[in-house]
Structure 1
Amino acid sequence: MKIRRSARGFFGVVAVVAIVALAASSCSRAPKGSSGSASPGITDTTVTLGVTTPLSGPTAGPGTCTVAGVKAYFGAANAAGGVKFGDGKTRKVEIKTYDDTYDPQKALANFQQMVSDGVFAATAGLGTPTNRAFREAAIDEKFPQVLVMTGDPLFSTRKDSPWQLGFVPIYQNEGAAFGQLLAASGSQHKVAILAQNDDYGKGYVDGFKQAVAGAPNIQIVRELSYEATDTSVDAQLTELAGTGADVFFNAMSITPLTIASLQKAQQIGWRPSWFLPSNTSSPSAILTPGGASAYPGIYSVAFSKTPQSPEFASDPDVVKFLSDLKTYANYPSLPAFPHCAWSYIVGATLEQAFQKMTEPTRDSFMTALRGISGFRAPLMLQGTAVDTTKDGQPAVSTVIVQKYNGKGYATAQKFG
């Protein structure tokens, strides 16, 4: 009898523990104010997004912009009453920011903090190494890491990265666009290449080489690399200048190095035409201090309007964008980096997904996000659009080659 009573008591305790554990589990899955099936970070009235990006250090300029743009977009949306979601509820969008200083270890720690903070999804953060640092952890957690500022194609391959989606064009697309323009010029050109020794630099170079392959008028005369941690590339520039190349393909992501490169080439008397990636081609932050007007041409690619360009000074999208930046992101000056505009477009794209998701879950959000096609978001250039339906491609895959005109950029109809 004692044994049987003990057995009943034991199983009774187990049952109570199981019920308590189940209740605790349900509480952890359902934020306060939401239905029991909701994912962390979303309630009936709010959804919380996280941005880990460099807010200090050498890449703080573009990093700060990735926060400012998305805050500006949703600040305006919240002020207008919030975003109407596909499940019929209207929610305010809250943004939590985390500084990773462009350090992968800090980015991983920030992701872990996001999980602890109950964030619904990570978005807009800058950098390939930093976003890669927590990609696998996000997959394990089934945690969306979407519309991030990296051209790494891995983030847009659904089989390898089911909870990820890149935003900006992949590096290969940017490199190929310039290569196609150069090859189509018909005139003879010698090209010197300097690339960052990582997936970023290699992606740009691969795209460029594929585009000029077989073009009889293009000769690559020298190719060198540098490390992202280097403080100078003077030696590489001196060697490349000795080739007599009239075109310099500079796949560089570090702002101070890009400025120094523009200055150094002038000091040694080398004045080729340049190609610069979209994220290191800011007219005010890079080209003006670098003395870019000394060169016959500075080319880059874009998919968003440039507020500094006179042609967009009175553009309605740009006027509203600048007003929202000042009002809701405390960013009073004209943005020096395109990332402010890019993350504003990220906000518009996220709103499209929110409007389509029928349940307050991460699964429903990812399904909605991957179903956007032909969306011409505010600030996008004619001929570009958001399309998230193409496996292996980011949300934006089309770019327009532009030429620096001393103040901003204008569409480059031809090379030269």
Structure 2
Amino acid sequence: MRKHLRSRRALGIAVASAVAITLPGCAREVGGGGDGGSGGEASPGITDDSITLGITTPLSGATAGPGTCTVAGITAYFGAKNAEGGVEFGDGKTRTVEIEALDDAYDPQQAAANYDQLKDEVFAMTAGLGTPTNRAWRDAAIADEVPQVLIMTGDPLFSDAEESPWQLGFVPIYQNEGEAFGELLASSGQDHKVAILSQNDDYGEGYVEGFTSAIEGADNIEVVEQLTYEATDTSVDAQITQLAASGADVVFNAMSQVPLVVSALQKAQQLNWKPSWFLPSNTSSPGAVLEPGGGAAFPGIYSVSFAKAPASPAFAEDEDVKAYLAALPQYGNYPDPPAFPHCQWSWMVGATLEQAFSEMTEPTRENFMEALRSIEDFQAPLMLPDTTVNTTEDGQPAVSTVVVQKYNGRGYDTVESFE
């Protein structure tokens, strides 16, 4: 099921404590300006030979798993390109692409401090995970005219060119995911009772908003219980126990904390309650969530995606997947198979940035933003069929299409109907 989503509500993600570190293996020397050999004075972070990108993302704390992936994928992508000689830009120069990444531990104050540290050394900021952390320095990036692009947040604000002229999100907005599942469930033609558990912030509200809008007017769907939890909670056992008593056969679970999703799945099994589940794309990893949570015990676990799952047998011989899996440990300092889809997403970010670089005729941030906002129907490596990168539609992130998938015990299969 393919879904194009358009909600514009701003969203949020849980915040953890801050620890500032620099990711080992990332570039530490940043090139200065230089004339770049083309019209316009070169912006900071770019020379005739190299360009440096900055990332602030959680590399420690509760969201370190997906945060580390946001660095590993893009570092692997450009590491492989650098090994081949670099990336060819539209001004005729071939440059290596260097990455400087700092840990914000999902703390907005630390993210803002990281931006202040990097802004005069890097050409653009990219790939970082989190709505509150990216929002913490959005206004500063606008004032400084520093690109804050292809970031990992579903907040529509970052894709509004008028409100955020130096920003662009990468992943679909949260409402899109909730709406896609709601439409799938409503179209099943079967009666379903739904229990909702969501994070008590804009993140959870965005998912629920999309889901409830999709089932509005659907006579076969009844929401029988709706509860929330705080992002700082260490357990949701009480909520799961209450939801189990509702008799729901479907759980819509809008949670951003991986440990809590795992414990929710485990608690439901302890109660012998085995409904079908919907999980967000960022907390539905087969290896990190479903296997330890015992996901195979449920009749169906659904999520949405736009990326190929490397663990899925369907992609075992896929050339893009093989290239990605080979580069990730070699250039991304990520030795194990990726447990989170953010590794794939940031690999796609690298490919999308390369597309923009190839259209840059001047070594300036202004020209880069023009090139970035001109990408249409780009099938980035690792993208699923029927999903593309399109940066030309104001109010939408680079990826605004998703495909509903069902867990098959190892990976996910695309589905057209609720089973």
Amino acid at match of 2:64: A
Partner of 2:301: 298
How far apart, in 2, do the equivalents of 1:105 and 1:233 lie?
28
The structure richer in helix per residue is 1
Partner of 1:154: 157
SS for the counterpart of 1:351 is: helix
Amino acid at match of 2:59: L
How far apart, in 2, do the equivalents of 1:369 and 1:246 lie?
44
Structure-to-structure mapping, 1:277-356, within 5 angstroms: 277-356=280-359
Partner of 1:62: 66
**Cα offset, 1:253, TM superposition:** 0.6
Amino acid at match of 1:54: P
How far apart, in 2, do the equivalents of 1:397 and 1:236 lie?
32
How far apart, in 1, do the equivalents of 2:72 and 2:206 lie?
28
How far apart, in 2, do the equivalents of 1:197 and 1:157 lie?
25
Task: State how many pairs are aligned.
Answer: 387
Confirm whether residue 45 of structure 1 aligns to residue 49 of structure 2.
yes
Partner of 2:116: 112
Confirm whether residue 408 of structure 1 aligns to residue 400 of structure 2.
no
Structure-to-structure mapping, 1:100-179, within 5 angstroms: 100-116=104-120, 118-179=121-182
In structure 2, the CA distance between the partners of 1:53 and 1:132, relative to structure 1 (3 Å rule), is same
Q: Verify the 8 A CA contact 1:152 1:199 in the aligned structure 2.
A: no
SS for the counterpart of 2:253 is: strand
Q: Percent identity?
A: 68
Confirm whether residue 254 of structure 1 aligns to residue 257 of structure 2.
yes
SS for the counterpart of 1:389 is: coil
SS for the counterpart of 2:345 is: helix
In the TM superposition, what whole-angstrom CA distance separates every residue of 1:223-245 from its partner, at most 9, and x where no partner exists? 11111111111111111111111
In the TM superposition, what whole-angstrom CA distance separates every residue of 1:142-182 from its partner, at most 9, and x where no partner exists? 11000000011111111111111000000011111101100
**Cα offset, 1:30, TM superposition:** 6.5
TM score, norm. by length of structure 1 = 0.91
Q: Verify the 8 A CA contact 2:108 2:136 in the aligned structure 1.
A: yes
1:202 equivalent among 202, 205, 216: 205
In the TM superposition, what whole-angstrom CA distance separates every residue of 1:74-97 from its partner, at most 9, and x where no partner exists? 011111111111111111101001
Q: Verify the 8 A CA contact 2:51 2:123 in the aligned structure 1.
A: yes
How far apart, in 1, do the equivalents of 2:163 and 2:200 lie?
23
Relative CO higher for 1 or 2, CA cutoff 8 Å, sep ≥ 6?
2
SS for the counterpart of 2:119 is: helix
Confirm whether residue 31 of structure 1 aligns to residue 33 of structure 2.
yes
Partner of 1:236: 239
2:95 equivalent among 68, 91, 96: 91
How far apart, in 2, do the equivalents of 1:232 and 1:332 lie?
31
Q: Verify the 8 A CA contact 2:34 2:42 in the aligned structure 1.
A: no
In structure 2, the CA distance between the partners of 1:382 and 1:114, relative to structure 1 (3 Å rule), is same
Gaps of 5+ in 1: 1-28
Comparing 236-245 and 143-152, the one that deviates more: 236-245
How far apart, in 2, do the equivalents of 1:268 and 1:325 lie?
40
Confirm whether residue 380 of structure 1 aligns to residue 383 of structure 2.
yes
In the TM superposition, what whole-angstrom CA distance separates every residue of 1:247-282 from its partner, at most 9, and x where no partner exists? 100000111111111111111222110000000000
Q: Verify the 8 A CA contact 2:126 2:151 in the aligned structure 1.
A: yes
**Cα offset, 1:33, TM superposition:** 6.4
SS for the counterpart of 2:401 is: coil
1:193 equivalent among 192, 196, 201: 196
Q: Verify the 8 A CA contact 2:379 2:387 in the aligned structure 1.
A: yes
Q: Verify the 8 A CA contact 1:65 1:339 in the aligned structure 2.
A: yes
In the TM superposition, what whole-angstrom CA distance separates every residue of 1:11-47 from its partner, at most 9, and x where no partner exists? xxxxxxxxxxxxxxxxxx9624646711111111111
In the TM superposition, what whole-angstrom CA distance separates every residue of 1:170-220 from its partner, at most 9, and x where no partner exists? 001111110110011000001111111111111111111111111110111
In the TM superposition, what whole-angstrom CA distance separates every residue of 1:361-382 from its partner, at most 9, and x where no partner exists? 1110011100000000100001
Gaps of 5+ in 2: 1-30
SS for the counterpart of 1:371 is: coil
SS for the counterpart of 1:48 is: strand
How far apart, in 2, do the equivalents of 1:88 and 1:287 lie?
47
